Amino acid sequence: MEKKLYIVRCGEVALKGMNKPYFERILLERVRKAIECYEDAEARWIDGLMFVRIPADIPEDEVIGRCVRVFGVASVSPAIEAPKDINEIGRLAAEYMLQIIEEEGVKTFKVKGKRADKSFAVQSPEIGKQVGAIILKTCKVLSVDVHDPDVLLTVDVRREGAYIFRDKIKGFGGLPLGTNGKGMILMSGGIDSPVAAFMMAKRGMSIEAVHFHSYPYTSQRAQKKVEDLVKVLAGYMGTIRMHVVNLLPIQEQIVQNCPEDETTLLVRRFMMRIAEQIAVKNHNMMLITGEDLGQVASQTAEALVVTDSVVKMPVMRPLIAMDKVDIMDKAREIGTYDISIQPYEDCCTVFLPKHPVTKPKLARIEKSEAALDVQALVDAAVASEEIIEIRP
Amino acid sequence: MIYLDNSATTRQYDEVTELMYRVAKETYGNPSSLHSLGFEANNMLTDARRDMESFMATGGEIVFTSGGTESDNMALVSTARKMKRRGKRIITTEVEHPAVLETCKRLAEDGFDIVYAGVDDTGLVKTEDLMQAMTDDTIMVSVMTVNNESGTIQPVNEIGRMIRDYNKKHGTGIVFHTDAVQAFGKLPFSQLDADLVSVSAHKFHGPRGTGFLYMRKDLKLPAFITGGGQENHYRSSTENLPGIAGMALAAKMSYEKLDAKMARMCEVNDHLYKGLTAELKDVVLNGPKELGCSISSAGSGSAHTAVRCPAVLNLTFRGTRGEVLLHTLEQDGIFVSTGSACASHKTGDSHVLSAMGLDHKAIEGAIRFSFSEFNTVEEMDIVIDKVKMAVNRFRKLGSFR
């Protein structure tokens, strides 16, 4: 089977110093994993670029889609390989342009030459000129436009061959998954937490999830929604383990024994404690939340101090300084938004006080909490966890 | 498992499932085909049609459809199309099924003038509102036979009479449609007096995707689905023979010993109501108190009191949320439905309970129990016990909602 070439560029990985081989190796593994579903697919590094070869009958968009979802990938270009001969390069480039004209009816073009291999006799500007001339001769409908061409064709002459490509499809950048420890996301059914998990994973962190529900106050459909969200994330990160904990027994205790206006905060403190215990048990180094400064009463600066004070583990809040609209845009970009806006109740809204405290005092909260057997409640919750594995 | 959501859908009779399997496997000919396999299929279709006709009043046609929603659409849209030159007014009620209400909305966009009659606190339609709304410009009245949420039996025969009188006096041709989806198979049907009647098979232990519209013989509505001319040109499409045969059998089985079944459903319904109100405070019945076992027993005048179909019991448990009760009960294998789709949005509130004058809180705490012939009094003892536990548990936390 004939194969098509895709050039994959890494972003930040290239900037690494001593550790570069490590990052490159992991990124290669991740890309290989992403394309393992294709028979005979191959990927390898050559002089700082990753060359991916996929059987030619697989649609280009599909392959690109798989590659750009790998964290650490800056961009991907489908490319044509040519021998290191300027006339051959010109002929293949012209052939490629004919195909583009037929498909898109373009009128103008420009060729940009690049010469990584300095032993190649033709210099970069000259590569552009010569290949352009051949294209002009073959494709009569085209003219050159150096400022705003319909098609910008790049010819890259490298040590092992010459490559012709057109588009650079952007990836998410970041660092390869698994190069930066493991964190536990507190996953609700909302817009924020999937984005928070995504952003940490993009920096190389492996993700495990914990989800709290209040069944029968919340429904199975609400949990299915969370599973659907995690499934989208699994499309970027591979199988994700999710710990599911029913918070209702704790919420009942809080509602019956503590001041109403502190309910949400007290519940969140329990969430953090339970998440930390599960995180430790499963070798996660930190917690991740989708909290966003000032978004709701429980996310004011004072409230964050109060929730943070119950855990020792660092708590990552990658959205903390983002505006809601930007978080929403990000959610749309990664494909979780439409699931997040389904109207199922989650455990946070079940016992919403009418007037929640927005500037809680730690001492007062701790006093309210003294009415509860905190450790016993946390232990019982942790013991009752269910674990599900969510595959992409 | 105790299934108490029979107004949503019912468990199909095993005999029906077996028959449908046989028909699909063996009688797969197209009833329109000339060969013997087609002839056999056509015979089965004719038999099913005759069977269904036997349940209806007199001299009407049965048009097989894909179910209640299509029957309602066909009744409203085809009547409107036929009568559009005679008038623009269509009268219906606030408590109809969305199949009627949404279709009316569409007709309103097309220039029809839709009038919605209200109901009283038992869900009984205000017949005086209907009467007052009738004009020379009126072409149709659509009132359901039994309401799916409150179980209220509407005085359809009385309304049918009123319309006939009005037509005689004013020389109008007002057509009367009733959505009888919740009545067929549960109440005696031969007394029902309407020009158009919608029925759906899956509400009486028949298959989904099958129903019919009964049409008075001389009505001659225009075709609703055009094509090969099946169903006497009213509704083209190759007939769903397994479904139609299954429906005919389900109808026959439903009406077998109906009196005994109704008596038992009354007993089950009553037992649950009495048990729950004895065990729990602040339980409110949404719908008429009295159960009724015939369509003609319903009336609105002083001679009548509103009655409820024995298949439905709708209760508000004050200080609770129906959705939470529902999810609690499902853990014990008890399946019910609620008056509100989503607790946090008022837009999810039942339009029926709203029309009956219930406020948001009362709707939020509403649970509908709907019965079939398979339910027993013994089951209700379990239900009473479980509902009691659930309500008491959540009322303790009630101050929040």
For residue B27, the domain's CATH number is 3.40.640.10
Catalytic residues of B: 342
Measured CA angle at B170 (ends B164, B171), to 5 deg = 80
Residue A175 maps to a domain:
no
Say whether residue A261 is in contact with chain B using an 8 A CB cutoff: no
The strand pair at B337-338 and B307-308 is best described as: unpaired
- The answer to whether residues A200 and A119 belong to one domain is no
- The answer to whether residues A161 and A193 belong to one domain is no
Cα dist. B306→A113, A222, A223, B258 in Å? 88, 39, 42, 22
The pLDDT confidence band at residue B400, using thresholds 50, 70 and 90, is very low
Structure tokens at A184: 């536990």
Structure tokens at A276: 């930390």
| B324-348 per-position pLDDT tens digit | 899 999 999 999 999 765 544 556 7
The parent domain of residue B103 ranges over 14-255
- The answer to whether residues B249 and B262 belong to one domain is no
What CATH number does residue B261 fall under?
A: 3.90.1150.10
Is the separation of the CB atoms in B140 and B174 below 8 Å? Answer: yes
Cα–Cα distance measured from residue B15 to residue B251, given in angstroms and rounded to the nearest whole number: 12
- The answer to whether residues B141 and B186 belong to one domain is yes
- The answer to whether residues B222 and B326 belong to one domain is no
pLDDT of B397:
77
| A363-387 per-position pLDDT tens digit | 999 999 999 999 999 999 999 999 9
Residues of B in CB contact (< 8 Å) with A are 321, 323-324, 326-328, 330-331, 342-345, 396-397, 399-400
ipTM more than 0.95?
no
Nearest CA in chain B to A344: B342
Name the average pLDDT for chain A: 92
- The answer to whether residues B227 and B97 belong to one domain is yes
Number of domains making up chain B: 2
Name the average pLDDT for chain B: 93
- The answer to whether residues A383 and A297 belong to one domain is yes
Hey, are the CB atoms on A252 and B397 less than 8 Å from each other?
yes
- The answer to whether residues A347 and A316 belong to one domain is yes
What CATH number does residue A359 fall under?
A: 3.40.50.620
The parent domain of residue A267 ranges over 182-390
Hey, are the CB atoms on B400 and A216 less than 8 Å from each other?
no
Q: Of A170, A195, A213, which one is at a domain's C-terminal end?
A: A170
Residue A47 maps to a domain:
yes
Contact residues, chain A, for B344 at CB < 8 Å: 343, 345, 349
Nearest CA in chain A to B321: A217
Contact residues, chain A, for B326 at CB < 8 Å: 216
- The answer to whether residues A346 and A198 belong to one domain is yes
pLDDT of B298:
58
Hey, are the CB atoms on B343 and A351 less than 8 Å from each other?
no
- The answer to whether residues A33 and A78 belong to one domain is yes
Mean pLDDT by 10 residues, chain A (392 residues): 91 82 92 92 92 94 94 95 93 92 90 91 90 91 90 93 92 93 95 97 97 90 94 95 96 91 93 97 97 88 93 97 96 95 73 83 92 96 96 92
pLDDT at B399 over 60: no
What CATH number does residue A40 fall under?
A: 3.30.2130.30
Q: Of B255, B289, B317, which one is at a domain's C-terminal end?
A: B255
Determine which helix (DSSP H) or strand (DSSP E) holds B369, and give its type and residue range: strand B366-370
Say whether residue A45 is in contact with chain B using an 8 A CB cutoff: no
Helix B36-53 vs helix B241-255: angle between axes, to the nearest 10 degrees?
Answer: 30
Q: What is the pTM of this model?
A: 0.83
pLDDT of B303:
46
- The answer to whether residues A129 and A253 belong to one domain is no
- The answer to whether residues A142 and A201 belong to one domain is no
- The answer to whether residues B323 and B247 belong to one domain is no
The strand pair at A3-10 and A73-82 is best described as: antiparallel
Residue A176 maps to a domain:
no
The pLDDT confidence band at residue B297, using thresholds 50, 70 and 90, is low
Cα–Cα distance measured from residue A76 to residue A170, given in angstroms and rounded to the nearest whole number: 7
Number of domains making up chain A: 2
State the best of B338, B397, B399, B401 to mutate against chain A, taking most chain A CBs within 10 Å: B397
State the best of B325, B329, B331, B344 to mutate against chain A, taking most chain A CBs within 10 Å: B344
Interface of A with B in 337-366 (CB under 8 A): 343-345, 349, 351-353
Q: Of B222, B255, B288, which one is at a domain's C-terminal end?
A: B255
- The answer to whether residues A115 and A250 belong to one domain is no
- The answer to whether residues B154 and B111 belong to one domain is yes
* Strand partners for A387: A243
Q: Of A112, A143, A170, which one is at a domain's C-terminal end?
A: A170
- The answer to whether residues A188 and A52 belong to one domain is no
- The answer to whether residues B263 and B204 belong to one domain is no
